[in-house]
Structure 1
Amino acid sequence: MRISSLAIAVVAAGVFALPLTTFAAVAEPGHLTVVGGRFTNDTTPTFTWDAVSGATSYEVAVVGDGQEINVGTRTSYTSPELTDGWYSVIVRAIRGSSESTWASVVFEVDTQGPRLDDFDIETNGNKVTFSISARPDESYTIVRNCMLEVKDVGSYRMMIGSGSYFEYTVAFDDADDYKARISCDDLDDNVSTSSWKSFVSGDEIPPVEPTVVAKEGDRIKTACIKNASVKDPCHAVYYYGDDGKRHVFPNEVTYKSWYSTWSGI
């Protein structure tokens, strides 16, 4: 806005009114922003800012990667291709021969995903446990997710353990050869993916029958298949005597000459 004031000059012959003209300073562009955030994996980031009243154009530059560019009255600018690293973007408003101070924002371009160790596979029958250590490439970010992919089977979100440790256990229906790989991402949406690794899933481990410890006075019978002959050795019965020895009845016929039923076996 133009401001006029009256300067009074005293001259020997009298008093003269001299109009003096000054100009208000041009405001600095506000809310300079990196679209997508100051930590980005976009190698051609876009920047926006608020319009300045009366501005006829804007100058913008990415410090360290270019020169000042006049973008006219637009309030956005997309940078040419940038490599990974730290930068500053600066913007100022122009009105005639007047310029505002520079608005600035520091930002980083980071396209590197988490660092992955070689993952481990532990097989226990048909249950296979996968584990991996995944660390962020930069100290300011974190590893957000790790996904396990078993080829032709499915994908699974791994559970986070202590520190940078992730694991997941899969129960397979069939004993067979399989391949798996793991992908992890960070808060910048950068992704790292391991190589495929082969493994073999075993059969389901049957439940273990509880172990019964014989004591003195017990009668112990072996198992028989269905419809086994009464003379089959599977019918053998052992009596665990007070003397700590096993006394055998070779079959059901002999046993029933002593006892009438199998009660207590």
Structure 2
Amino acid sequence: MALLEVTNLGIAFGGLQAVAQLDMKLEKGDLFGLIGPNGAGKTTVFNMLTGVYRPTEGDIILDGVNITGKKPEKICRAGIARTFQNIRLFNELTVLDNVKVGLHNQVRYNMWTGVFRLPGYREKEREMNKRAMKLLRIFDLDKEARLPASSLPYGKQRKLEIARALATNPKLLLLDEPAAGMNPNETEELMNTIKSVRDTFGVAVLLIEHDMNFVMGICEHIVVLDYGRVIAEGPGEVIRNHPKVIAAYLGGD
């Protein structure tokens, strides 16, 4: 059984069919790319996978469970986490607290335990601090743990957003243009980080990216969308020379 199986997935906004007849399978540990020109429907696919949009057709099966149309918090608990095109950190919170936000879907104590700071609360907080710091060390952010997130340079903010997503303990990590705005050195470092995350945590990674060097350098399988439909899929060497992909990006018959 595939970790993620998407069958005949589609969504229409009024008379506009944004995505249609999407089939996609990801196995545990896959590094998978979803690419296409602007407006091809890539982020719309992410929004359906995470419950932001409810599909008008098709099914999304995660690890054998149908999650189609479920609310975002239920999908997060089921095992899908994501980052965004535009970084969405809690800028006034510390780097450490940003990661701890991602842990709250796994920590349980009742309201009174939290209000009165009872021993159960303090124990859970210590546990969360320990787990958050472990994640920060993986991303080389532990020295900035007590700084506000807004004080980090752009590349480290991107890494912090990935660390926060990983804190939710996902089976599948969705990265929406993770290399956007990065310089070549930051991009290469991010590629190594994503590969390390896959190997360390055993998660599958599905990413959207416009940097083709990044995509070809990291993704083992690529799906190409154009006007909401799949026009090609396969490994990088197949996609690079596919005539429909070249036409979609550069124009032509």
Name which one, 1 or 2, has greater alpha-carbon Rg. 1
Q: Which has the higher strand share?
A: 1
Return the structure number with greater relative CO, CA threshold 8 A, min gap 6: 2
TM-score, with structure 1 as normaliser: 0.24
